[in-house]
Structure 1
Amino acid sequence: VLPNNKNIIMAATQAVDLIEDKKVIVIPTKTIPQGITAITMFNPDGSSEENEAAMNETIETVTSGSVTYAVKDTEDNGRHIKEGDILGLLEGKINEIGQDVYAVCKKLIENMVNEDSELITIFYGEDCEEDKVNQLVSELEEAYPDMDVQCFNDEQPLYYFITSVE
């Protein structure tokens, strides 16, 4: 089970404890990018123990981000946020505030990358313009020539972007 949400991990673990006739393992993924990375490590020929170890190990390498908008006026660590502001969330915490979705996403990713990073993955939602997404990808490829940049249209309605850096 891949919860993909830090608030669901405990409930998933408790639910697994109720199952007696099957072996079910919870991989404690806190974000969608962690879940995607974990599932890529699944080996159908491997044992459950091998898969659990590989999946648990790989989720530790993922830094997760997302870009959304503020639904109301608020304050965060002394920063005033107005309804409609674009928010870049790094591991669920506000990292960037701006007015342009693409600029916030680029800055968020810049804050996610470190010297060990090899891969940037971007999932963009239904409200993004493909030509602007392509421009963002080009800028990231230019800024990080030694990294792979992957981009997917997931057409989801809640976030402009869901990002990961590994």
Structure 2
Amino acid sequence: MIPQFDEKTKSLIGALQPRWTALRMENRRFSGLTGDSFTCASVLFVGQPSLLCGIDSSDFQGISWEYFRIRCDIVDESIYHAGDITLARKGGASELDHKLQWLFERPTLTLTEGTDEFWDSDRPDAKHYEFAYYNGLLISDPKGRGALRLTVINEPYFTMTGDFVFPSELS
């Protein structure tokens, strides 16, 4: 196995104590919320500090991308424009806002891992390669009120999926 873990993202997520006020996405590749899921290219957790999770170098200028599936960094929240989508906000009035209030308290963050296998040819003696990397982020409420799993998938299109899990779905 060839480790391709982004140590900067690991250090950042391991030390982060978020105090967010909103969950936003830019329009690029945003599918809209369907049930408890969405797809997008990047997610911004607005607050102290603001955390950007993205899937390609257009979100992180001047950073070598290498084999990383997901990249996270502390950013200035003004990188997103007023026309972008605010999915939920702290103290908001929508049903989703109420279901996600745990996200704006002190959620727990954990990177998830994935692997890819490759062979250098179709011949019987082909070399086999297996890469291990961070493929997403699990944000959960320590009190069990919900979770948000962000996962980067590369088939059929390179996107990030967000899946909410609420207490009624946990049992």
Normalised to the residue count of structure 1, the TM-score between the two structures is: 0.26
- In terms of fraction of residues, the more helix-rich structure is 1
- Structure number with the bigger relative contact order (C-alpha 8 A, sep ≥ 6) is 2
- In terms of fraction of residues, the more strand-rich structure is 2
